[in-house]
Amino acid sequence: MALPDEELELDDVAEEVGVHYQTVYRWVRAGKLPAAVVDGRYRVQRHDLAAFLEARRTPTRAKPPGAPRLARAAGKMHAALSTGDEFAARDLAGALVAEHTPLVDLIQQVIVPSLLRIGQDWHDGKLSVWVEHRASAITERILGEVAPRPRGRRRGTVMVAAVSGDRHSLATTMAAVVLRDNNWRVHHLGADMPADELVRFCGDHEIDVAVLTVVNPECGDLARETADRIRAAGTPVVVGGPGRSLDDLILQVRDAVAGDR
Ligand code: B12
């Protein structure tokens, strides 16, 4: 079947750019070149390809900070979040985004380690619970500020939630932000969602993949049971867990969609 003029398959991209098919495939899998899966095959929009090639050509674009700088930024983020210095935390996140730090790295390597340290210090009795609550509230605002507004054709539609009893909404927001950044349309339902409602929501909407985050380990069984129910009704599901990475999430969501077509 002939494709619309503005769409290309990976073979066409490889031919136009003069690289091997596998190179194009790696760009797509790494999230560098946006592509949607249609009838089980990747399709790339011409304007996305043009933007991708332009970005590769532009020598003035600063390189995103490497791991040592992100580790230093994580230290500063922890200092700001644990002392409640909201503007320092938001400025730091804003500066990293301005330096083209991928959102997944900002969240995974700068924000998450700070929250884990704060959670551990609370557990060890080194700080009061209000420090953790205040840090969570600031983190919510940072994530709101950096949340992307993707343009162009989406890869598909994802639902993100956590089941009843798991009140850790930040993990759902983090998942929603990185999925939007990867060009998915996201229904972000947040935390503490009743299982029946999640099953109904996925049945009533065109959802390509349901994502259930789990931070409170006591809710793991309910999340897995709910995932089984959603799957049985025909929607693929991926389930997260403490310590699982957002890079992993992106790959699992893509694989779940590709495997379903
Ligand atoms: C902030 C926080 C809270 C806040 C949440 C605020 C909010 N709006 O989210 C509040 C104050 C509400 C809270 C409450 C509680 N909390 Co709390 N909390 C935390 C803290 C500090 C951070 C949580 C967080 O955001 N984690 C998300 C990120 C930062 O971590 P992550 O788990 O690695 O998640 C990643 C993956 O899940 C991935 N991901 C997301 N989706 C998907 C999907 C897929 C498919 C994949 C692959 C990956 C993926 O994304 C995340 C980022 O990379 C943690 C510390 C910790 N170690 O996490 C404690 C922590 C989770 N809480 C804990 C506890 C005990 C509680 C309470 C029971 C305390 C109490 N007595 O009331 C309640 C439970 C409430 C409930 N019913 O759920 C414990 C859990 C202990 C355990 N058994 O393991 C922890 C570990 C603190 C500790 N060290 O003891 N908490």
pLDDT tens, residue by residue, 180-225: 999 999 999 999 999 999 999 999 999 999 999 999 999 999 999 9
Rounded to whole angstroms, the Cα distance separating 62 from 44 reads: 26
Q: How far is the CA of 215 from the centre of ligand 1 (A)?
A: 4
Per the model's pLDDT, the better-predicted residue between 26 and 139 turns out to be 139
Q: Tell which of 39, 57, 75 closes a domain.
A: 57
* 2 in a structural domain: no
pLDDT computed for residue 178 by the predictor: 96
- Taking a C-beta distance cutoff of 8 angstroms, is the pair 130, 158 a contact? no
Distance from residue 230's CA to the centre of ligand 1 (Å): 24
Secondary element (H or E) of residue 58: none
Average pLDDT over residues 223-243: 94
What's the pLDDT at 136? Answer: 98
Q: Is 147 in a helix, a strand, or coil?
A: coil
Q: Give yes or no for a contact between 193 and 187, defined as CB atoms under 8 angstroms apart.
A: no
Helix and strand element counts for the chain (H, E)? 12, 7
**pLDDT at position 200:** 97
Decide which of 15 and 210 is more confident: 210
Any ligand 1 atom below 6 A from CB of 166: yes
Q: Is residue 122 part of a domain?
A: yes
Asked if 209 and 255 count as a contact pair (C-beta separation under 8 A), the reply is no
Pick from 105, 120, 158, 168 the residue to mutate for probing ligand 1's pocket: most ligand atoms within 8 Å of its CB. Answer: 168
What pLDDT score does 259 carry? 67
Q: Are 89 and 80 in contact (CB under 8 A)?
A: yes
Pair 246, 175 in one domain:
yes
Helix (H, G, I), strand (E, B) or coil at 236: coil
What band does 231 get if pLDDT is binned at 50, 70 and 90?
Answer: very high
Ligand 1 nearest-atom number relative to CA 133: 11
Residues 164 and 124 in one domain: no
Give me the domain span that covers residue 91.
67-146
What is the model's pLDDT at position 41? Answer: 85
Domain boundary among 94, 119, 146: 146
Q: Are residues 45 and 99 in the same domain?
A: no
Does some domain include residue 71?
A: yes
What pLDDT, on the 0 to 100 scale, is given for residue 59? 55
Whichever domain contains 253, its CATH number is 3.40.50.280
| Residues forming a β-bridge with 160 | 188, 211
User: What residue's CA is closest to ligand 1, atom 87?
Assistant: 119
Q: What is the CATH number of the domain that holds 18?
A: 1.10.1660.10
Ligand 1 centre to CA of 167 (Å) is 8
Q: List the CATH number of the domain containing 83.
A: 1.10.1240.10
Claim to verify: residue 71 and residue 163 sit in the same structural domain: no
pLDDT, position 65? 75
Phi-psi region of 192 (alpha: psi -120 to 50; beta: other; left: phi over 0): left
Q: Which residues contact 191 (CB under 8 A, 6 or more apart)?
A: 161, 162, 166, 167, 168, 169, 171, 172, 213
Mean pLDDT of 34-62: 79
Q: Based on the structure, what is the number of domains in the chain?
A: 3
For residue 23, give Cα distances in angstroms to 11, 61, 95, 155, 252: 10, 22, 31, 20, 21
Q: Is residue 111 part of a domain?
A: yes
For residues 41 and 113, membership in a common domain is answered with no
Please tell me whether residues 123 and 169 are part of one structural domain: no
Average pLDDT, rounded, for the chain: 90
Atom of ligand 1 nearest to the CA of 169: 9
Q: Which of 118, 146, 174 is the last residue of a domain?
A: 146
pLDDT > 80? residue 159? yes
Which atom of ligand 1 is closest in space to residue 129's alpha carbon?
Answer: 11
DSSP three-state, residue 32: coil
pLDDT confidence of residue 241:
87
Testing ligand 1's pocket by substitution, the residue of 126, 138, 181, 216 carrying the most ligand atoms inside 8 A of its CB is 216
Indicate whether 62 pLDDT > 60. Answer: no
Question: What's the per-residue H, E or C state across 176-189?
Answer: HHHHHHCCCEEEEE
Per-residue pLDDT, 261:
54
Same structural domain for residues 171 and 227?
Answer: yes
Confirm whether 29 is domain-assigned.
Answer: yes
Residue nearest to atom 23 of ligand 1 (CA): 168
CA 237 to chain centre: 15
Q: How far is the CA of 219 from the centre of ligand 1 (A)?
A: 11
Give the residue, by CA position, lying nearest to ligand 1 atom 49.
240
100 and 164 belong to one structural domain: no
Which residue owns the Cα nearest ligand 1 atom 90? 123
Q: What is the DSSP letter of 218?
A: G
Instruction: Give the residue among 257, 237, 89 at the shortest CA–CA distance from 162.
Output: 237
Nearest CA to ligand 1 atom 55: 119
Taking phi over 0 as left and psi of -120 to 50 as alpha, with beta for the rest, 43 belongs to beta
Q: Which residue has the higher pLDDT, 78 or 17?
A: 78
Band of pLDDT at residue 63, cut at 50, 70 and 90: low
- Do 128 and 219 lie in a common domain? no
